[in-house]
Amino acid sequence: MSSTDREQWATRIGFILAAVGSAVGLGNIWRFPFQVGQEGGAAFLVVYLAFIILIGLPAILVEFVIGRRSERNPIDAFERLGYRAWTIAGLLGVLGGFIIMSFYSVVAGWVTRYTLASATGAYFAEPAEYFMDIAAGTDALLFHLLFMGLTAIIVGLGIQRGIEMAVKLLVPALVALMVLLIVYGFTLDGAVQGYAYYLSPEPGAIAANWTSILPAAAGQAFFTLSLGMGIMITYASYIDDERSLVGDGAWIVGLDTAIAIMAGLMIFPVLFTIGVEPGAGGAGELFIGVGGAIAGLPGSRIIGVLFFGTVLVAALSSAISLTEVTVSFLIDRFGLDRPVATGIVAGGIFLLGIPTALDLMVLELYDQVTAELFLPLTVFLLVLFVGWFYDEALDEVSKGVSADWLPGAWLWHVRTIILVVIGITLILSIQGLIETLPETIEAIELL
Ligand code: PHE
């Protein structure tokens, strides 16, 4: 197809919203507070925010450059640009995304269940115990199947557009519900402690723990921005040439970060009020924290259904974006029918996710290995490619940008600082994984 034939986003806001729909998901609402809790609170928040601004935003531009210039999916993009050997980076990203999707669907299954359980108030009395009961086992497996099936139906019928429309309504609705829960949290007894934990770093905490905080913050930044999984390459392949990638990137990163910060404001006051130590809830932090808050509100059932229902749609819009990357690749490359390609991809994701639905430790293992190893490794390769090998990056990023100094500064930043920081992060991640892996494997009950 020549570039003029290719479909493009009809409006600027259409692209931004679709990319926000992909970026905003369980990463912000579920994974972010869970990482804050595991890494000790405010110290993590500081490192995370620095990472988002200094590394995340410029790195999203790296993917945009590859996508818009090649007008291809992440696997075919490099060949199209004339650098076939780098296809390995695209493949690694797609593989990482595929594994992420397998446990993401299990977590989204919990959200589905909580949407229903809110209607009956099932978790209101004992939020922490309820979570532990339903997180792993046959029920979790069933809801994993349900969520993946729903994703497959939407992708198989090719009706993403409908979901994109829904996202336009639901992102504002989600923000409104979060504001409500934040205001409620503010009135609780544990609010002061919650805010102190989340927002005020203890002196020396970063220096003392940076070897575990940095890889966790990097993994969270990539996960939440949908980086290193080929999604932003694919989305950018449909952006027209006049637009400033820098401006769009800043919007997406800004909105995504704002929603994550709000999730923390919503959850920590509640955890301190109901006496659950942050970090102790692990992957259950969101469910225990928000579950506890909702239980205390008037109209709790309605609020619960609305809250978990909107989170479900946010998860669905992210899941669709990730599934679509692989499905469209199978269609383009092997000429499969859409329903067949979707069946293969969704079936594979479901099977791969089974162990994570049966054991929480397996889920946390998949999560850590993908976020802290696959994603940074893929982003590292993409940054290396765009910084040092691909000649036309500067030209691509300069389009539509009026500040003359900006593209050049970006390129040098990509070539030096980003490469070094992600390189250090990777070394720390690998060290961390080697240290914790034996313990984690030990704790897996399935084995
Ligand atoms: N950025 C997404 C989120 O925060 C990450 C993601 C996208 C995960 C697509 C899975 C699928 O939820």
pLDDT (tens digit per residue) in 322-337? 898 888 888 888 999 9
SS3 label, residue 275: coil
Whole-number Å distance between alpha carbons of 389 and 202: 42
d(CA 167, ligand 1 centre) in Å? 14
* Residue 163 reports pLDDT greater than 70: no
pLDDT in tens, 68-87: 999 888 999 999 999 999 99
User: 70: part of which helix (H) or strand (E)?
Assistant: helix 57-70
pLDDT in tens, 418-444: 999 999 999 999 999 999 888 888 888
Q: Can you list the domains of the chain with their CATH numbers?
A: 12-446 (1.20.1740)
Q: What distance separates the 2 farthest-apart alpha carbons in the chain?
A: 62
Q: Is the CB of 23 under 6 A from ligand 1?
A: yes
Supply the pLDDT for residue 150. Answer: 93
pLDDT in tens, 194-203: 999 999 998 8
Whose Cα sits closest to atom 7 in ligand 1?
318
d(CA 21, ligand 1 centre) in Å? 9
pLDDT in tens, 264-295: 999 999 889 888 888 887 899 899 988 888 88
Whole-number Å distance between alpha carbons of 241 and 64: 11
* Residue 404 reports pLDDT greater than 50: yes
CA 344 to chain centre: 23
User: Which residue type does 179 have?
Assistant: V
Q: Is the CB of 124 under 6 A from ligand 1?
A: no
What is the residue whose two structure tokens read 């060290």? Answer: 431
Mean pLDDT of 160-188: 81
Highest-scoring range by mean pLDDT, 163-167, 380-384, 430-434: 380-384
Supply the pLDDT for residue 401. Answer: 87
Whole-number Å distance between alpha carbons of 37 and 302: 28
pLDDT in tens, 184-240: 999 999 999 999 999 999 889 999 999 999 999 999 999 999 999 999 998 888 888
Q: Is the CB of 100 under 6 A from ligand 1?
A: yes
Residues above pLDDT 90, as percent of the chain = 68
What confidence tier does 2 reach under pLDDT thresholds 50, 70, 90?
A: very low
